[in-house]
A = this chain, B = another copy of it.
């Protein structure tokens, strides 16, 4: 996904013809959509690190406002822990170390001076955080403790990198870390974390399934974890979020204890869960169309764009009206007005590629008869409304856009997650369309591994289902779960 042919700031062009079939040429579509849509610039001189442009950064900030809101509402507190972690601290939990060491960047010097201890650049913050939070917890009265932070983290990815989806600097990683007195409380927290993320993805109209990761593939240092998964237009699965029960493995490595009433010490139980800018990449991929990006009003950097249609003689009147309307709409919406010297067609094209939900067109006719044309990006339909009801008409339209996009995403996802009863049917379908495909499973590890080998598709996780009356696709015994397969980004 390199882009040598790019010719400058996307916001300044207008003559590119977009039109890429998203479902046929998804990788091309993605590259071009995020470039022409002014989300990121992929020409930064380090592989896998990208520049967030103003328009894209605004979308990202709006997405983060939503996760903050969901976290704050459920009693999480925002903090910031340092990015650099001393090697001696980073290396305490051995499973974690095994999982992350290879992809962690390491600072070894300052200027020409060799550091006395190497510093890991956080790939995620468990280690540096737990080393310090230990000092915050003394008795059960200090628990539960529910923290989160939104920070940059770094992973030396060896896989192919793509803007937002797989990167070496995650500019915005939201990681929550919670601390509890009992295993039961931590268990309940997992459910709370899942519910918080459900609300978050529902707000973004991103469809998902939630699977549990088999124990042999669990997050390094964890008891078990759940993943939120979605499917991209090219049929590849993608992890949207991870919700992890850490048990007390880290507590033991970092000596995270609290004092009981009888003066003995007990280890705390922990959970952590994260999402990142990747979810904006998924949002854009699922909602976009062959003409570029399509934003829901929820996180659209601009919700309305006003385009004055100027012709000789009408300029003053039309501009005056357009500015009037802008002043009115700005009280309620994020509004742009396009006054550049450029053809109306080019302007339409650009703002469509940038996915602005509603366009307001104002020309002579509109000034004279008090009507205004609204264009909705999601359905590419025009409607005429009375200028005097404009705010309420746009508000109604935005609700309709959101619910249409939600329904459309649901519809899209219906064909992306499919259940089968045997490997052959599954393979046949998967090889044509990808997606996430499931088989009944008895929960025996050996059966899972054999099914994975027969299918030739990696296991993604499973959903327990004790009452399905189905039979394990391998051994024929009673199925207790559905096991899912797919290839991920």
Residue numbers of A with Cβ under 8 A of B are: 6, 8-9, 12, 41, 43-46, 49-54, 57-58, 60-61, 77-86, 89, 101-113, 119, 121, 128, 131-132, 135-138, 141-142, 147, 151-152, 154, 156, 169, 171
A94 to B108, CA, bound (A): 23
Q: Name the residue in A9, A46, A113, A171 with the highest tally of chain B Cβ atoms < 10 Å from its Cβ.
A: A46
Q: Which of B57, B79, B83, B171 contacts A54 (CB 8 A)?
A: B79
Give every chain B residue within 8 A of A44 (Cβ-Cβ): 81-82, 128, 132
Copies of this protein in the complex: 2
Residues of B within 8 A of A79 (CB): 51-54, 57
B residues in contact with A142, CB < 8 Å: 8-9, 12
Also in contact, A51 and B141, with CB within 8 A (given A104-B111, A107-B106): no
Task: Identify which of B77, B82, B147 contacts A49 (C-beta below 8 A).
Answer: B82
The distance in angstroms between the C-alpha atoms of A45 and B131, with both chains bound, is 8
Residues of B within 8 A of A77 (CB): 54
Set of chain B residues within 8 Å of A86, measured between Cβ atoms: 45-46
- Check B136 against A119 for contact (C-beta < 8 Å): no
A107 near B121: Cβ-Cβ < 8 Å: yes
Pair A80/B107 contact, Cβ less than 8 Å: no
Given contacts A101-B111, A105-B110, A106-B110, contact A61 B45 (CB under 8 A): no
Complex contact B46–A84 (CB within 8 A): yes
On whether A135 and B83 interact (CB within 8 A), knowing A61-B78, A111-B104, A152-B152, the answer reads no
A280, B474: Cα distance in complex, Å: 63
Cβ-closest chain B residue relative to A9: B136
List of B residues within 8 angstroms of A81 by Cβ = 44, 51-52
Cβ 8 A contact of A111, one of B103, B109, B171? B103
Q: Which residues of B contact A51 (CB under 8 A)?
A: 79-82, 132
